[in-house]
Amino acid sequence: MNIQENVALAPWTTLQVGGAARYFAEARREDEVREAVDWARTRNLPLFVLGGGSNIVVADSGWPGLVLRIAIGGLTSEGAGNGVLFAVGAGFDWDEFVAHAVVQNCAGVECLSGIPGNVGGTPVQNVGAYGQEVADTIESVRALDMKEDRIVVLPRPACGFSYRSSIFNRAERGRYVILRVNFRLQRGGGPNLGYADLKEHFAQTRTAPTLASVRQAVLDIRCRKGMLILPGDADCRSAGSFFRNPVLSDEQFQELDAHARARGLGVPSYPALEARRKVPAAWLVEHSGFAKGFRLGSAGISSKHALAIINTGGAQASEIIRLKDAIQQGVRSTWGILLEPEPEFVGF
């Protein structure tokens, strides 16, 4: 392994903030992952596993141990009939995989187009958007179990998927290094049109949706919301959606709705599991005094989407945190709801 010292981490992240890693290594094979993990363990160094850097905030002080970037590539597929199993390396670019699946006429991930980052990061938060989430298609996850020092294959039920959650960021956080993800997609399957924006798009165009046209529609929608990584676009210096959409019980939602009606507002919501309601965090942010384009120092809110905190240029991680705290406090004082951040905070 090539172990480097004092490597700046900001360039490895989409938010582009944060200090340096004391040590840094990149693993392109499974044996290199094990070697790096052992190297850190024998030196009693904290380990952080880095993927595409699209959903993290690195502290200004950086990381005091080893940052291990997973760069395991490769994509293979097999299957007879309609079901196709894709085995994808954890370091493979996520959107490249989605594009490949669509070209192969395989349904199941088309609505997840344009999401930055690598394949290995998607099971951690059970990444989802526009009516799909990766738990719908993941068959198993191959990972290094650092607790038992062995490589394991975890079938979907063992991953404990729920809304933006899994064992990888909850119950077993820090235990596994994801090496490869296996997805089962449906060849010839129809596209998912469960999301309102997509229904509206195809109602207006009056065209029959295909996997390719749904992928393009999602890319267009994400572009309008500043959720695509595009060179030269300041709104792209973000960690994506910074807060999870709250999922409320019926009683909690009725209380929120009554509060909103007293202000002459209607709360948008969507059905969630167990007879609950999902409320858009972006609506709560905007109706708590934080409009699109809001600035606090060199941190701000995207001019295109209220849920994206951005680095307007030269921001420190402390400024990102200050804005995050202000938004959380504002939403809580206005609506009685504490927004839960989506990104992982590294080195804090």
> Active-site residues: which are they?
164, 241, 342
Backbone phi and psi for residue 259, each to the nearest 5 degrees, phi listed first = -60, -45
Beta pairing, strands 344-346 & 308-311: unpaired
Cβ 246 vs Cβ 256: under 8 Å: no
Cβ 327 vs Cβ 290: under 8 Å: yes
Which pair of tokens denotes residue 44? 């009693």
d(CA 129, CA 55): 15
Place of tokens 């709360």: 267
Which pair of tokens denotes residue 59? 């502290």
Handedness of CA 298, 114, 344, 256 (dihedral sign): positive
Distance from chain centroid for Cα 265? 30
